[in-house]
Amino acid sequence: MPGNELQELVARGMKAANSGRTAAALECFERVVKLQSTPVNWSYLAFCVARERQQFEHATRLCEEAVRREPRSSVLYLNLGKVYLLSGRKDDAIRTFRQGLLYERNTLIESELRRLGLRKPPVLNFLAREHPVNKYLGIMLKKLKIR
């Protein structure tokens, strides 16, 4: 398969996976990983396998291996977090999403975190979230765009 066709298949698979059509994405990535074995391709395949076939342990291992091979790609953390969510491991998913954002901005991760309704940890974690110092420090840091 020529390079352009392969890139087109990868793009089509990513678009399908990100829009919720994981059955179509699964077909694409099963073909893609045979031709081009990259952490991103394996990560998308793993997410699709978890969603379509409910093979959570297998998908988790694939995603974790992809992250080990390319630890600075936020897309890999996105897919690993989604696999964690599908398998009922919400705390792991949140931690993984946040870790992915440390490497690069990813609007899909941000939307997942918003969908989950998460708040950032308190500025001073030894004080309660509702403590006035935490509240006003958080507001001030957000206005300064530091946090």
Q: Are residues 39 and 80 in the same domain?
A: yes
pLDDT digits (tens, 9 = 90+) for 88-118: 999 999 999 999 999 999 999 999 999 998 7
Residue 145, Cβ neighbours under 10 Å: how many?
A: 6
pLDDT (tens place) for every residue of the chain, 147 residues total: 667 899 999 999 999 999 999 999 999 999 999 999 999 999 999 999 999 999 999 999 999 999 999 999 999 999 999 999 999 999 999 999 999 999 999 999 999 999 998 777 889 989 998 899 999 999 999 889 887
Q: Are residues 61 and 133 in the same domain?
A: no
The domain total for the chain is 2
Distances (CA, A) of 2 to 5, 36, 37, 104: 6, 11, 15, 31
Q: Are residues 127 and 88 in the same domain?
A: no
Nearest alpha-carbon partner for 74 in 98, 45, 41, 50: 98
Q: Are residues 135 and 109 in the same domain?
A: no
Q: What is the pTM of this model?
A: 0.79
Q: Are residues 131 and 110 in the same domain?
A: no
Which token pair is 35? 């031709």
Q: What angle do CA 114, 118, 76 make, to 5 degrees?
A: 65
